[in-house]
Structure 1
Amino acid sequence: MRIIVGYTADRRGAEAIALAASVGGSGAGNGASPHLDIVMVLPQDTPFSAVYPGSDHGYKSIIAERIDAWAAEALTLVPEGSSARVLVRSADSEAAGMIAVAKETGADLIVVGGQHGRMAGMLGLGSVASALLHSSPFPVALAPDGFGEGGIPVLSRVTAFIGARPGTKGVVETAAQAATAQRVPLRVVSLMAMDFADEGEIIDESLVEAIEAKISSIVSAVGASAEVEVASGKNIEDAVQVLEWIPGEIAVVGSSRLARKRRLFLGSTAQRMLRTLPVPMLVVPRSYRRSQQDR
C-alpha cells in the first residue's frame, strides 16, 4: 500500500505519520508492508525540490538545512515495518502539492492530521484537510487530535457508514478492501433509517429489517462479509455516540452527492459526524474505484 502523508514539523505531522502507519498495517504481523511518501509542500515561488533519503539538492542554504532537519525528524517517526521517503515539492497550496504527488506515484490514500485545540481524540478540520476533503480524487484519511501519542495502534476494525444515496457500493468496497488487506473485521453501519425518518422519530422495526437485508446484499455483491448494524438515535451525533467503538478502529464515509465524479466533497452528514466521531475518518470520493488510480 502506498500512502501520501501530508507532513508539517509539528504534532499534526506526527499524527498523520502515525495514522498512515496504522492504516497501512505496520506492526500488524499480517505481512503488510506499507510505503509512506511523506510530503512537505513549499510555496510555489520557492526554488527547491528534493527527495530524502538518497538525494543531494546540490546547494546549502538556510531553508535547505532546515528542510534537511525536518525530513530527518519525519523519518524517525516511521515505525519498523514501513518503508518511507520524504518528498519536497513547491505548489500553489499544500493540498494541490499532495494531490500532484499522489497522481505521480499512484497512491492509494492521502493522510493528514486534523485541527488542534479540540478535545483529545476528536476530529477537526484545518485549512489543508478542508481543502483536500473538497477536491481530492483520492481517498483522504484524517487523524484525530492526539492520535498515536500512546503508541501507534494496530488497525482492529473497519467501519463503513452508508446511507440511502448513490455511492454506497463504492464506500463498502473500499472499506472491504482495507479490512481484507489488514485481515481485520468489517462492520457496515447503515444511516438509511435516519434518511427516511424525521430527526428524533422512532424507527419502525420492519424498516430496520428491510435495511439490514439490503445492506447484506450490498456486502455480498462486493464479495465481502461484515457485521451489519442500523444506526439509531435522536440525530446523527447521537447515533455515532451510541455505537460501540474499539481501539484501532477507523470509520469510512462517502462524499456528498454534490461532489463531482471521482472527487471528494464532505457532505453535511459527515461534517456532523466529525463533532463526535472518536476514531479516524477516511472519506471516499464519489464513484471511486481503486483501479481508476492504478498505474
Structure 2
Amino acid sequence: MKFLVGYSNDSSGKDALKLGVALAEMTQGKLIVCHIVAKTWHNIALAKFDEDYDQFLCDEAQKALDDAKLAVPSHIEARYIARTALSISEGLKQTAKELSVDCMVISGARIAIKGQFFSGTVADELLNQLSLPVALAPKGFAKNQGFTSPLTRLSCAVSGSDQSCNLAISAGEWAEIFNVPLRFVTFAVRDRDITPTAAGFDAENMVINEWREQIEAEYAQATQHWESDVPISLEIGDGPTWKESIQSIDWQASELLIVGTTTSGIFKQVLVGKNAEKIIRYASVPRLVLPRSTD
C-alpha cells in the first residue's frame, strides 16, 4: 500500500508522520511525505517581496522534509516531496491523485485536546472532497510514542443503517490486511441535559433498549453470513453524552477505528455526517475514514 502523509514541521505534522510510519510498517507499504507550500497572491508592487517570501517558504519546506527523514526508519521505502498549491488541501488532493496513493494520513487542528481529533480547515476540506481513505492522527500521537505494539484490533463504528453492511465488508478487508480481529461498535446516547418529554426518561430507556436488542439481533444474523476468516465481535457504548458513550467501552493501546461516511450525491466521496464527526472527535485511538462505496 502507498500512504501519503500531509506533513508540517510542528507537533501536528509529527503526529501524522508517526501514524503514517506505523501504517506503512504494518502493511509493508510505501510512504510519501509531502509538505505543501501555499502560493502567495502576487501584485506588481510586492512582486519582489513575494518572490523572496516564496523562496523562503520553499527553503523551510525542504528543511522540514529533512527533519522528517530522521523520524522514518531506514527499512521503510519513503519519498519526500515539497510542492506549491493554492491551498494545502488542494495540493494534497492533487498529489494523491497524481501518485495514485491508497490512503492519506493527516492530523487535525492544534486546539484539540490530547488524544482527540478536532477537524480544522484543511481536514474539513479533505474529508468532504476526497475519494480515498483518510487516516486521522489524534493529537499527541507522536509524543505518546504512537502505537505501543503492532496493531492488535480494528474497530468499526456502525449504525445499523443500510450502508453499515458495505462498511462492514470494507472493514473486514482492512482487518485481513492488518491480520487482526474486527470489533463492531455502536453508541447509545442518553441526553440528560434536555427537558424530558411527557413520557419521561423511562420511555427513552425503553426505546434505547429496543434499539440495543435490534442491533444485537442484526449482528447475530450478520455473523451467520460472515464469509471472512476475520474474527468479529460486537460492543455497544452507552452514556449521557457522545463523549461518555464512546469512552464507556474498552479501547486497546494499539487499535484503529474505522468510520464510514454518510450518503452523498457524489459516489465514492467522503462526506462526514454529524454523528461520525462526534465519533471522530472523541475516540481515543487513530481513525480511518472510508469513502462511501458505489455498491
The TM-score by the shorter chain falls in which range?
0.7 to 0.9
Judged with a 3 Å threshold, the aligned counterparts in structure 2 of structure 1 residues 92 and 214 are, in CA distance, closer, same or farther, namely farther
1:203 maps to which residue? Answer: 209
Q: Who is 1:38 aligned against? A: 33
Q: 1:274 to 1:209 in 2, by over 3 A?
A: closer
Aligned residue in 2 for 1:90: 84
Gaps of 5+ in 1: 47-60, 290-295
Paired with 1:265 and 1:74, the residues of 2 have a C-alpha distance of 30
Work out whether residues 188 and 245 of structure 2, in 8 Å CA contact, stay in contact via their aligned partners in 1.
no
Q: Secondary structure at the match of 1:203?
A: helix
Q: CA RMSD in A?
A: 2.8
Who is 1:144 aligned against? 138
Identify if the C-alpha distance between structure 1 residues 265 and 9 changes in structure 2 by more than 3 Å, giving closer, same or farther: same
Return the TM-score normalized by structure 1.
0.80
Mapped partners of 1:152, 1:285: distance in 2: 25
Task: Determine the C-alpha separation between the residues in 1 that align with 2:245 and 2:224.
Answer: 23
- Of the candidates 125, 147, 168, which is equivalent to residue 164 of structure 2? 168
* TM-score in terms of structure 2 length: 0.80
Q: Distance in 1 between matches of 2:242 and 2:288?
A: 17
Cα gap change, 1:92 to 1:166, in 2 (>3 Å): farther
Equivalent-residue separation in structure 1 for 2:187 and 2:247 (angstroms) = 14
Give 3-state SS (helix, strand or coil) of 1:36's partner.
strand
**For residue 185 of structure 1, what is the amino acid of its counterpart?**
P
Match of 2:223 in 1: 216
Task: Write the letter of the residue equivalent to 2:130.
Answer: S
More helix by share: 2
Return 178-187 or 209-218, whichever deviates more: 209-218
Q: Structure 1 residue 267 and structure 2 residue 273: aligned?
A: yes
Tell me which structure has the larger Cα radius of gyration: 2
Report the Cα offset of residue 157 of structure 1: 1.3
**What amino acid sits opposite 1:155 in the alignment?**
L
Q: Could you report, residue by residue, the CA deviation over 1:113-170 in whole angstroms, capped at 9, with x for unpaired residues?
A: 1122332111111111111111111111111110021323132211011113343233
> 2:174 matched to 1:182?
no
Which residue of structure 2 lines up, in the alignment, with residue 20 of structure 1?
20
State the Cα distance separating 1:235 from its structure 2 match.
4.8
Identity of aligned residues (%): 26
**Amino acid of the structure 2 residue aligned with 1:211:** E
Maintained 8 Å contact 1:251/1:281: yes
